[in-house]
C-alpha cells in the first residue's frame, strides 16, 4: 500500500511529456537559470553518455569538449529547471554507457551518425512515451540498448537499395526475368538488367521519399541517359549480344517516410539510346 502511495506521489512530479533520446545522441539541454528576479535559458550541448535511475530519479549525463577539456554534467530528466531537451544528432552505439569517450581526444570522440527521418523519430518517441510507464525507466533503457545493438549489427538497408529490390519484385510479378542487379562498370552502374520475351531491358530505378523536389523519373536527365547508353553497350558487347533487341525503362519508386507500401511507376521505353553508340530495338 505504501509503495502505491509513493508511486502516486512520484507521478505528480513527473513530466507529462517525457523527452525521448537515446545513449549516443547529441542533445541541447535547455536549463532555466534564475538571476535575481529574472529567468534566462542556458543551453548545454553534448553527447549523452549514460542514464541511471527511474521515475523521478531518472538522470542522464551529458559530455562535451570545451577548449580541449572534457566537461560533464548530470541532469534529472523530470526537473522543472529543464525547459526542454532537443535532439540534434543521433549516434550509432552498442553500449549502455559511453564512459570510454573520456579517454579519447580529437576526432576519436565523434560518433558515427545514425540518420533517421523525422517521421520515424516521432514514431519511436510515441512508442517510448507509451511503454515507459509500463516497464519503468530501467526496463526502457534496456530496451533502447538492445535496439541500438540490433541497429548496429543489422543496419537498415539504404533507401536506394530497397527501391531496387521493390522494382525487381515488381518486374518479376509482371513476367520479366532478372538477369543482373547492380552491375558495375567504369562509367557507372546498371541498376537492373531484365529480359521480356526476346528484348533485353535496362532498367534505371529512382527512389525518393516524396515528390516535393520533383518526380523521381526527372532525375534521368540527358547526361544520365548518355552514361546508361555506354553502360548498356558495354554490357551487351561483353556478352556478344549487340544484335539483340534492347530498350531502356525507368521505374520511379516513391517510399513514404512513415513506412507503408511504396508507390511504383513503370515507364517502358522511357528514352532512346544517346550518343554515338549504335543501339537497336
Residues 194 and 232 in one domain: yes
For residue 279, the model assigns a pLDDT of 53
- In this prediction, residues 256-279 reach a mean pLDDT of 79
- Same domain flag for 129 and 41: yes
Q: Are residues 132 and 168 in the same domain?
A: no
Q: Does residue 26 have a pLDDT over 70? A: yes
Report DSSP letters for 50-90, one per residue: EEE--GGG-EEEEEEEETTEEEEEEEETT-TTEEEEEEEE-
Model pLDDT, residue 281: 46
**What's the pLDDT score for residue 123?**
61
* 281: in domain: no
* CA angle at 129 for the pair 124 and 131, rounded to the nearest 5°: 90
Residues 149 and 13 in one domain: yes
Task: Judge whether 278 lies within some domain.
Answer: no
In this structure, of 2-6, 77-81, 148-152, 245-249, the range with the lowest mean pLDDT score is 148-152
Which domain range does residue 174 map to? 159-271
Model pLDDT, residue 117:
57
Q: Please check the confidence at residue 181 and state whether its pLDDT lies above 70.
A: yes
Residues 183 and 131 in one domain: no
The residue that leads in pLDDT, 36 or 151, is: 36
How do strand 246-254 and strand 199-208 relate by DSSP bridges? Answer: parallel
Question: What's residue 131's pLDDT?
Answer: 55
Range 136-161 average pLDDT: 68
Residue 238 has pLDDT above 80, yes or no: yes
Global confidence as pTM: 0.53
On the question of pLDDT at 149 being above 50, the answer is yes
**Model confidence over 90-148: pLDDT tens digits?**
888 878 888 888 888 777 788 887 766 555 556 665 665 555 555 555 565 666 667 66
pLDDT over 80 at 28, yes or no: yes
Confidence check: pLDDT of 189 > 70: yes
Q: Indicate whether 147 and 242 sit together in one domain.
A: no
- DSSP state string for 218-254: GG--HHHHHHHHHHHHHHHHHTT-TTS-EEEEEEEEE
Answer yes or no: is 280 within a domain: no
Amino acid at each position: 500500500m505504501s509503495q502505491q502511495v509513493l508511486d502516486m506521489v512520484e507521478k505528480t512530479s513527473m513530466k507529462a511529456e517525457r523527452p525521448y533520446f537515446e545513449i549516443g545522441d547529441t542533445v541541447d539541454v535547455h536549463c532555466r537559470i534564475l538571476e535575481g528576479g529574472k529567468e534566462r535559458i542556458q543551453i548545454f550541448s553534448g553527447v549523452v553518455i549514460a542514464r541511471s535511475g527511474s521515475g523521478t530519479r531518472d538522470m542522464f549525463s551529458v559530455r562535451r569538449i570545451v577548449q580541449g577539456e572534457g566537461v560533464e554534467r548530470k541532469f534529472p530528466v523530470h526537473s522543472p529547471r529543464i525547459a526542454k531537451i532537443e535532439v540534434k544528432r543521433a549516434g550509432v552505439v552498442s553500449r549502455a554507457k559511453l564512459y570510454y569517450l573520456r579517454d579519447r581526444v580529437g576526432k576519436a570522440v565523434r560518433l558515427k551518425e545514425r540518420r533517421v527521418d523525422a517521421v520515424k523519430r516521432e514514431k519511436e518517441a510515441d512508442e517510448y512515451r507509451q511503454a515507459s510507464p509500463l516497464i519503468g525507466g530501467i526496463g526502457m533503457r534496456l530496451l533502447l540498448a538492445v535496439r541500438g545493438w540490433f541497429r548496429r549489427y543489422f543496419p537498415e538497408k539504404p533507401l536506394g537499395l530497397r527501391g531496387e529490390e521493390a522494382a525487381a519484385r515488381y518486374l518479376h510479378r509482371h513476367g520479366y526475368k532478372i538477369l543482373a542487379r547492380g552491375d558495375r562498370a567504369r562509367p557507372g552502374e546498371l541498376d537492373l538488367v531484365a529480359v521480356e520475351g526476346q528484348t533485353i531491358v535496362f532498367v534505371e530505378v529512382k527512389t525518393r521519399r516524396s515528390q516535393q523536389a520533383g518526380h523521381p523519373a526527372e532525375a534521368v536527365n540527358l547526361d544520365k541517359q548518355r552514361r546508361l547508353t555506354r553502360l548498356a553497350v558495354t554490357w551487351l558487347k561483353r556478352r556478344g549480344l549487340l544484335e539483340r533487341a534492347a530498350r531502356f525503362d525507368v521505374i520511379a519508386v516513391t517510399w513514404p517516410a512513415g513506412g507503408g507500401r511504396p508507390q511504383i511507376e513503370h515507364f517502358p521505353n522511357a528514352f532512346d539510346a544517346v550518343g554515338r553508340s549504335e543501339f537497336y530495338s
